[in-house]
Every structure is written in C-alpha cells, then in structure tokens.
Amino acid sequence: MLIASHIAKRYDTARGGVPVLDDVSLQVGRGDAVAIMGPSGCGKSTLLYILGALERPSSGTVTLDGKDPFSLDDAAQAAFRNTHVGFVFQDHLLLPQLSALDNVIAPTLVASTPEPAASVRQRATTLLTQVGLADRLEHRPGELSGGERQRVAIARALIRQPALLLCDEPTGNLDRASADAVADLLADLQKAHNMMLVVVTHSAALAARFPRRYELSDRRFVDA
Ligand SMILES: Nc1ncnc2c1ncn2[C@@H]1O[C@H](COP(=O)(O)OP(=O)(O)OP(=O)(O)O)[C@@H](O)[C@H]1O
Ligand SMILES: [Mg+2]
C-alpha cells in the first residue's frame, strides 16, 4: 500500500520560494489504479517524484508497504526505488546508445542482488514482446518512433517487478490509436502484475479509464 499524508512541497530557488503542493494526501492499495490530472505547471510531476522517492517533500510523509523511503540514506533510498518503484518519465529518458533490450535490462544491473544475465534477458525479451516490440529488440531509441520509445520505457519500468508503477504522461506525445494501445497495455500489465498504478495525464480519454481520478487544483487534490 502507498500512503502519502499531508504532502506539501515548495521549491526554493535563488528568486524565492515556489509553492507547488499543499496538504495533498493519497492512498493506493495493491491492484488500485489512480489518475491524476491538472493544468501544466500545477505540480503533477512533482507529486509523482515525491511518491516515487525521487524528490523529498517539504513536509508530510510517504510510506510504501510500511516503509518510509525518506528515512533512508541516499544509497538505501536508491536501492528502495530500484526494488519497489517503476517510473515512466514524461520524457522517456532512455539511454540513446543502448538497444531497446539493453535499456530494459539496465535497471537490473544496479540491483543489490543481481539476477543471472540469461534470466534477465529472457524477462526483458518477454516484456518487450508484451509491449509489441519483439521485432525491435536491437533498435536504439533514435531508431524507434515516439510511441515505441514510450513502450520501451514501460517495459524498463517493469523489469524489476515493482509494487508501484508511476507513469508521467505515458501517452503524452501519441496519436489517439497509439495512446489507446499504450493505455490498454498499462491496464493489462497492471492486472497481470497486481501493481499499484498512478498515472499523470492531460488526456480525458485516458483518465476516464481509471476508477479513481483526482485533479490538482490550487495545490490541492479535488475529486475529478
Ligand atoms: N526544480 C525546480 N525548481 C523550481 N521550481 C520548479 C522545479 N521543478 C518544477 N518547478 C515548478 O513547480 C511547478 C510544478 O512543476 P511540475 O513539473 O510538477 O508541473 P506539472 O504539473 O508536471 O506540469 P506539466 O503538465 O507541464 O508537466 C511549476 O511551476 C514549475 O515551474
Ligand atoms: Mg509534468
């Protein structure tokens, strides 16, 4: 279970503080899927980073399956993320010099208990097949379409079999048909892996597929 309680966030910059979130709370159980919407700049990515322990809240707490990642030192926190959280970033952030297959394998290379290379390769191949890229394993990101890169990023987020999958605009740059395909894929994978899924989206069509929807408005959550 993911529990975020009374999260507030302000970014302190040389030009002063930027308040972004104020008293945001959220609970996501195993198998739950939640969509977060809101206008550009309202703090959706910031919230996702906080839920995934990539960014520390100014106040409030996050626990995932009973553990508070922000109570850990940097190395333990990185290991916690690697083990428990899959992240599909707004800009997919694939490594340009690696093939699709090696991009999916990459998170396993820093795992504290490495898996045998052959079994990782097998799982990465299976995931890329599930996202419809069986015939693109050796392509580099620059040789893939935007939707294909997005699907590689989803496969990469799943390789460590995370309890929590966080997706930031996973269909942001896609046409309607590709966006529907990625949305179907996320729904199928979420069920198959019984994950907690939190998706940030501007797309009303994508959000409509989620049983729970929130809108960030004036730094707070309102039901959407
Ligand atoms: N590192 C940072 N330092 C200072 N301000 C920041 C930083 N990161 C984000 N912000 C500000 O915080 C606010 C929220 O940013 P965030 O990226 O969370 O928005 P968003 O809802 O994801 O927007 P979009 O839909 O455009 O992706 C924005 O006003 C942004 O300018
Ligand atoms: Mg964003």
Asked if pLDDT for residue 46 goes beyond 90, the answer is yes
Residue 76: the pLDDT is 94
**Measured at the alpha carbon of residue 127, what is the angle toward residues 166 and 173, in degrees to the nearest 5?**
50
pLDDT digits (tens, 9 = 90+) for 129-186: 988 899 999 999 999 998 899 999 999 999 998 999 999 998 887 788 888 888 888 8
Class (C level, CATH) for 2-223: alpha beta
Residues 189-201, mean pLDDT to the nearest whole number: 92
Residue 133: the pLDDT is 94
Sequence letter at residue 85: V
How far, in Å, from the CA of 43 to the mean position of ligand 2? 7
Q: Which ligand 1 atom sits closest to the C-alpha of 47?
A: 18
The closest residue, in CA terms, to atom 31 on ligand 1 is 41
Residue 223: the pLDDT is 78
Q: Which ligand 1 atom sits closest to the C-alpha of 169?
A: 27
pLDDT digits (tens, 9 = 90+) for 66-119: 999 999 999 999 999 999 999 998 887 899 999 999 999 999 998 877 889 999
How far, in Å, from the CA of 19 to the mean position of ligand 1? 10
Give percent of the chain above pLDDT 90. Answer: 74
Residue with tokens 């195993």: 30
How far, in Å, from the CA of 88 to the mean position of ligand 2? 12
In order of 69, 71, 79, 222, the CA distances from 74 in angstroms are 9, 9, 9, 33
Ligand nearest to the CA of 50: 1
Task: Break the chain into its structural domains and give their ranges.
Answer: 2-223
Residue 180: the pLDDT is 86
The sheet with strand 85-88 has its strands ordered as: 85-88, 164-168, 196-200, 33-37, 212-217, 220-223
Helix and strand counts by DSSP (H, E) for the chain? 7, 9
